[in-house]
Amino acid sequence: MSEKFTKLKALIAEVSDLNAAQALLDWDQQTYMPSGGAEGRGHQLATLGSLTHQKFTSPKIGALIEDLKKEFADADPDSDEARYLKVVSKDYDQATKVPAEFVAKFALLTAHAHETWAKARQEDNFSLFQPDLEEILKMRKEYISFFPPADHPYDTLLDQFEPGMKTADVKEIFGVLRERQVELLKNIASAKQVNDDFLHINYPEKQQWDFGVEVATKFGYDWNRGRQDKSVHPFTTSFGINDVRITTRFMEDFFPSALFGTMHEAGHGLYEMGINQEYSRTPLAGGASLGVHESQSRLWENLVGRSMPFWEHFYPRLQETFPSQLGNVALPDFYKGINKVEPSLIRVEADEATYNMHIMLRLELEIAMIEGSVEIKDLPTLWNTKFEEYLGITPPNDAEGVLQDIHWSFGGLGYFSTYALGNLISVQLWEKMNEDIPDIDEQIRKGEFSTLLGWLRKNVHTHGRKYEPQELVQRVTGSKITPEPYLRYLENKYSEIYGL
C-alpha cells in the first residue's frame, strides 16, 4: 500500500472513531439518559458533529483523494483499495458541500426534537413537536440546496439512505406493489378470518425477554460483541464491527411485538457483525444501504421467524415458556395467528401483507413536504385521511398516528421507502438462497441456522459498503431490485393461510 493511502486511511480512521462516539451518545439518549439531559446532549452531539465534519472535509483529505485517484486509475475496480477510494471520494464530495455550522445546528436541533417527539407522543399532542418538525423540514430543504439540482429534490435525500435510487424508481416499484397488494388484501378480507385472541393476553416481560434472547442466540447473534436493551422505538446501532447494540420494546398483552422486534433487530446486528474485519474504522464498514440492511432484518423476522419450519422447532419451547397462554393452542392455529392479516395502526406491528401500505403513505407525505404542497400543521389530518384510504381505519389519536415513528425527529426524511425496498430484496435473496441450499427449510426445522447465516455472510455481510445496493443485489441474485419475487411470496403464503 502506498504511503499516501496509508495516510488517508489513518485520517479516515479518526473520523470513524468520532462517528462511533456520536453513535454511542445517541444510543445512550434513546436508552438510559434521563430526559433532563437532552439540552446538554444536544450540545455534545453538535460539537462532535461539527468536529467530525471539519476533520473529514479538511483540504488534506481532499488532496490525498485526488492524488490517489490518479495513482489508482488503472487498478482493478473491484479491489478493496479501489472501492475504498470510490466510497470515500463520494462521501467527501457530499460532505464538502455542506457547511460545518449547518451540521452542528442540525445535530442540536434533532437532539432536541427527539425529546419533544417523545414527549408529544407520550402526551398525544402533535403541537409540541410541530415547531421542531417545521425547522427540520426547513433545514432538509436547505440541505438539498447545497447539491446540484436533481430530477426531483427528494432524490438528494433518498440518495443518503439508498445510494443510486431515484424517486421515480421508488414510485414505479410502489405502483406495482400497490395494485397487487390491494387486490390481495381484498381477497383476504372476503375469506374466513384468522383468530389470534391467544396472542392478546398477558405474557410476562421477563419470559418474553428470555425467549427472545434464546432465539437471537440460535440465529448467531454474538453476545460477546453485542447486547440488547429497551427503547421507545426498537433500533440497532454499531460503534464498530465488534460492538453492535440492539434494542426492543415490550407489550405484556401482545408478545409478538418484542419477539419479532428482537428477531428484526438481531438481523440488523448480524449484518454489522458479519462485515469484513479488515474494513474496521473505514468507510466500507456498514451496510450497503438501508434497504439492504432492512432486507436482513426482514429476512430473519419474516422469512425465517414467521415460517412454519421455524415454529416446528421452537413452538414446543414457547409452549413450555407460556403454558397457560399457549398450552392448548395447536401449532397450525399459532402459525396462522402470528401471520394474521389485519389493517393495524402501528407500522412496526403490521403484518407482511399490509406493511408496505404504511410505507407508501409516509413516502407520499414526505414527497409532498419537500415539494411544499403540505404544511406541517396539517400532517395529523392528512395522515388520518390517507390511513383511512390505504388501510381502511382511522387512528384514534396522534400518538398512534402521525407521531408513532421516530424518523422525522432525527431528520430522516428520505428514509421510509428503504423499509419496503428491504422487503423486496429479502425475498430476492431468499429465492437465491433456496437455490443454493435446497434443504434450508429442513435445517430451520432442526433449529440449525449456521448454513443460512454463512450464506448471508459470504454473499452480503462481508462486503459492507463495497458495492452499492443495486449492484450488490444484481451480483447475488442476477437481477436488480424488483417487486415480483416479493409479490409471489405474499400471494403464495397468504393463499395457503386463507384458502384463497
Question: pLDDT digits over 407-437, tens only?
Answer: 999 999 998 899 999 999 999 999 999 999 9
Average pLDDT, integer, range 351-355: 92
Tell me, yes or no, whether 129 and 183 share the same domain: no
- The percentage of the chain sitting over the pLDDT mark of 90, rounded to a whole number, equals 90
Average pLDDT, integer, range 469-489: 95
Helix (H) / strand (E) containing 415: none
Residue 156 lies in a domain: no
Instruction: Report DSSP state, residue 343.
Output: -
Residues 364-392 have pLDDT tens digits of 999 999 999 999 999 999 999 999 988 88
Residue 334 lies in a domain: yes
Note the pLDDT of residue 190.
93
Does position 258 have pLDDT exceeding 80, yes or no? yes
Note the pLDDT of residue 346.
87
Tell me, yes or no, whether 193 and 334 share the same domain: yes
Q: For residues 113 and 107, what is the distance between their CA atoms, to the nearest angstrom?
A: 10
Note the pLDDT of residue 347.
87
Tell me, yes or no, whether 416 and 476 share the same domain: yes
Domain boundary residue among 115, 149, 183?
149
Q: Which cell numbers in the block locate residue 183?
A: 387486490
Specify whether 265 is catalytic. yes
Residue 321 lies in a domain: yes
Does position 1 have pLDDT exceeding 80, yes or no? no
Instruction: Report DSSP state, residue 300.
Output: I
Helices 59-71 and 80-95: crossing angle in degrees, nearest 10, is 140
Which has more confidence, 491 or 38?
491
Per annotation, catalytic residue among 115, 135, 265, 272:
265
Note the pLDDT of residue 470.
93
- The percentage of the chain sitting over the pLDDT mark of 70, rounded to a whole number, equals 100
Tell me, yes or no, whether 112 and 25 share the same domain: yes
Note the pLDDT of residue 348.
81
Tell me, yes or no, whether 247 and 295 share the same domain: yes
Number of independent structural domains in the chain: 2
Tell me, yes or no, whether 370 and 326 share the same domain: yes
Tell me, yes or no, whether 131 and 179 share the same domain: no
Does position 146 have pLDDT exceeding 80, yes or no? yes
* Mean pLDDT, the chain, integer: 95
Residue 160 lies in a domain: no
Tell me, yes or no, whether 140 and 274 share the same domain: no
Note the pLDDT of residue 412.
93
Tell me, yes or no, whether 97 and 181 share the same domain: no
Surface-to-core class of residue 309, CB atoms within 10 Å of its CB (0-12 exposed, 13-18 middle, 19+ buried) = middle
Domain boundary residue among 149, 181, 213?
149
Note the pLDDT of residue 232.
84
CA atoms within 13 A on the CB side of 421: 28
Locus of grid cell 462521501: 91
Beta strands in 292-390, from DSSP E residues, in sequence order? none
User: pTM above the 0.75 mark?
Assistant: yes
Residue 183 lies in a domain: yes
Domain boundary residue among 89, 121, 149?
149
Average pLDDT, integer, range 133-142: 97
Tell me, yes or no, whether 392 and 423 share the same domain: yes
Tell me, yes or no, whether 144 and 182 share the same domain: no
Residue 314 lies in a domain: yes
Tell me the pLDDT band of 294, cut-offs 50, 70 and 90: very high
Does position 31 have pLDDT exceeding 90, yes or no? yes
Q: What is the CATH number of the domain that holds 51?
A: 1.20.58
Residue 412 lies in a domain: yes
Residue 418 lies in a domain: yes
Note the pLDDT of residue 478.
96
Average pLDDT, integer, range 64-92: 94
Does position 167 have pLDDT exceeding 90, yes or no? yes
Q: What is the CATH number of the domain that holds 285?
A: 1.10.1370.30
Does position 191 have pLDDT exceeding 80, yes or no? yes
Sort strands 236-240 and 226-230 into parallel, antiparallel or unpaired.
unpaired
Domain with 74 in it = 3-149
CB contact at 8 A, 444 and 307: yes
Does position 16 have pLDDT exceeding 90, yes or no? yes
Does position 73 have pLDDT exceeding 80, yes or no? yes
CA 173 from centre of chain: 18
Tell me the pLDDT band of 35, cut-offs 50, 70 and 90: confident
Does position 461 have pLDDT exceeding 90, yes or no? yes
Tell me, yes or no, whether 181 and 263 share the same domain: yes
Residues 42-63 have pLDDT tens digits of 899 989 999 999 999 999 999 9
